[in-house]
Structure 1
Amino acid sequence: MSTLDRLAATIAARKGADPDSSWTAKLLAKGPEKCAEKFGEEAIEAIIEAVKGDRARLTAEAADVIYHLLVMLAARDVTLADVLAELERREGTSGIAEKAARP
């Protein structure tokens, strides 16, 4: 089991947890909109660090982005397996061709 799989499993397990016992449970209890907002904030912070060129800070912010992405997905009952299946479906397809095929 990969680090991402373990993280996704932990997040899923916290969905029903007491919000006072877990940061993840607290985020999920605030609803999908708040989870999406938090993901957006973290993405912006990662962009800022990418522009600045600080590798260590970018690495830390990227970890935050991945965590908050998984929380946001869990808030809408989308699993990491769902996302990985979509990536697998797209594998071997040119990005240009894939975008052109979208409705």
Structure 2
Amino acid sequence: MNDTIQNLYDVIESRKGQHVENSYTCYLFEKGLDKILKKVGEEASEVIIAAKNGQNEETVGEISDLIYHLLVLMAEQGIQPADLQKVLDARAEKTGNLKQFHQVDHNS
């Protein structure tokens, strides 16, 4: 899976700053951060809807779309897959990592 993610990221990164006819990735970079963020939000919503409907094949497709758009966001922000891998590896080493959520005092 890491090779697939890295290879896709490399293709996405290669499209940055280019104009390739009919390239959706180039279109996203040309439109900028706001468009990329909008697409990430849309795809996240579509994952939720597909999962809620219990349609695994559709959910997998939507997750793939979300991952692609997250990789575009990463490339736009200069975040490498290795940066993500480093954080995930560090988290995998932790046990009992249930975070204590901040309790909001509704009386104040």
TM-score category of the 2 structures, normalised to the smaller one: 0.7 to 0.9
Equivalenced residues, count: 98
Q: What's the TM-score once normalised by structure 2's chain length?
A: 0.82
Report the CA distance between 1:20 and its aligned residue. 3.5
Give the helix-richer structure, 1 or 2: 1
Instruction: Determine whether 1:46 maps to 2:47.
Output: yes
Counterparts of 2:91 and 2:56 in 1: how far apart (Å)? 29
**What residue in structure 1 maps to residue 81 of structure 2?**
80
What's the offset of the Cα at 1:19? 5.4
Matching residue of 1:89: 90
C-alpha displacement of 1:32: 1.5
Task: Give how far 1:95 is off.
Answer: 2.9
What is the alpha-carbon distance in structure 1 between the residues aligned to residue 20 and residue 80 of structure 2? 21
CA deviation after TM superposition for structure 1 residue 90, in Å: 1.7
Q: Counterparts of 1:32 and 1:95 in 2: how far apart (Å)?
A: 32
1:2-13 equivalent positions in 2, closer than 5 A: 2-13=3-14
* C-alpha deviation, 1:52, in angstroms: 0.1
My pick for the range that moved more, 72-81 or 17-26, is 17-26
- TM-score norm. by structure 1 comes to 0.86
Letter in 1 for 2:63: A
Q: Displaced runs of 4+ in structure 1, greater than 3 A?
A: none
* Alpha-carbon distance in 2 for matches of 1:37, 1:19: 22
SS at match of 1:87: helix
When Rg is computed on C-alpha atoms for both structures, the one with the higher figure is 2
Q: Percent of aligned pairs with the same residue? A: 37
